[in-house]
Structure 1
Amino acid sequence: MTEPVVLPAFPAPMRWLHEPVAYEVTGKDALSITAGPKTDLFCDPGGPDRFDSAPALVGRLDGDFTLSARVRLDLLSTYDAGVLLLYADPGHWAKLCLELSPQGRPTIVTVVNRGVSDDCNAFDVDGGDVRLRLSRLGSAYAFHVAAGSDFWRLIRYFALDGDPEIGFHAQSPTGEGCTVRFEDIRHSAERLTDLRGGA
């Protein structure tokens, strides 16, 4: 799996940061990634633990853009997640996750890593129809979620050092692995016109 991966909905060659157990590109706009057991991307802000083992497929996009996908997975173990990812280097990255909480609920979670990770839970979702969106606006980035409707809810607006690649990530930190399905993947090179209004 060292050859570049072609995903028709993503307008650039893609590469694996860490290779998955398996993956499949289906049609123009769908991708599945299977993460192995005990795979994660996290740097504990209160301790020495550093994890950078989960599979991630990334590519470089120039200029302003939006990248969105409907995310589906069987949430079996705590912190199993499907993720849209920004990755500059092991110390600088950010992720927008549909993740299983310790309470057993599908939850929207964001992490921005600047040397160490923060960890912010946004809200629970029913898990049936969840779309994640990552956008670049000049030197800033935005995470949005649409859950069960067409309204894009702003979750996070932030800056990140470096020149990150963008892509898709699966993790199973406490479990025996999981398969994430990214469907209806869409890319636009147009700048968002309404950051906070659901556009």
Structure 2
Amino acid sequence: MSAAVFARQDGVWLNEPERWTTAQDDSLEIVTDQATDFWQKTHYGFHRDSGHFLGFRTAEAFTAELRVQCDFRELYDQAGIMVRVDAEHWVKAGIEFSDGRAMLSSVLTNGQSDWATAPYEHDAGDFRMRVTIAGGVLRLQASADGKIWPLVRLAPFTTAQSYRVGPMACTPERGGLPVTFTRFSLKPPLGKDLHDLS
């Protein structure tokens, strides 16, 4: 596991929040700014690229993991992990507050955004996300304990020589959401069987 990823000097903010800090234990704490979001066109018709994202450069194939702690309360409050090529080619995945509850959520954008949600049956205030990209394929997994990693999504994804990956948070309807990110790791792709939940 990569050590102290948040301490690396190659992390680049997209829409750096007004309030954020890193700590010796390799944690990142942010508070979201007002009306922040990532979305491209679908259904609503608007283009939004104002969400908070701290991206670290990857190789062309990788696995990244991240722990997220947050108290989701308002419509569209969201936090998790993001992989980004540019403003029209990215994925974000984590928990998003929708329809009165915290939902496991992923948005895959290739010119236009889609949105997939499902009820999250564990503690939405403390969860983990894993993303693997290799050979033009994206694999998303979520975990409540860091040991068992069910599949969230498998999809084709834009191929690139490198990507940016890291923590993401947005509050489209408000500001002031505190989020803590820990246990961020970035390593070569796991290469595990699709139904290997470890």
The separation in 1 between residues aligned to 2:153 and 2:9, in whole angstroms, is 25
Q: Which residue of 2 aligns with 1:111?
A: 107
Gapped regions of structure 2 (runs ≥ 5):
none
Q: Deviations over 1:75-98 (max 9, x none)?
A: 121111112001111111111121
Bigger CA drift: 116-125 or 106-115? Answer: 116-125
Q: Work out the percentage of aligned pairs sharing the same amino acid.
A: 27
Does the alignment pair 1:73 with 2:99?
A: no
Q: Which residue of 1 aligns with 2:29?
A: 32
Q: Which residue of 2 aligns with 1:153?
A: 150
Change (3 A) 1:193 1:148: closer
DSSP 3-state at the match of 2:5: coil
Q: Return the offset for 1:145.
A: 0.3
Q: Deviations over 1:143-177 (max 9, x none)?
A: 10012562101111122225331111110011223
DSSP 3-state at the match of 1:94: strand
Count of residue pairs the alignment pairs up:
192
The separation in 1 between residues aligned to 2:63 and 2:125, in whole angstroms, is 22
The separation in 1 between residues aligned to 2:21 and 2:93, in whole angstroms, is 21
Q: 2:40 aligns with which of 43, 48, 52?
A: 43
Gapped regions of structure 1 (runs ≥ 5):
1-6
1:1-199 mapped onto 2 (5 Å cutoff) = 8-9=4-5, 13-103=10-100, 105-125=101-121, 126-148=123-145, 150-163=147-160, 164-199=163-198
TM-score relative to the length of structure 2: 0.87
DSSP 3-state at the match of 1:19: coil
RMSD of aligned alpha carbons? 2.0
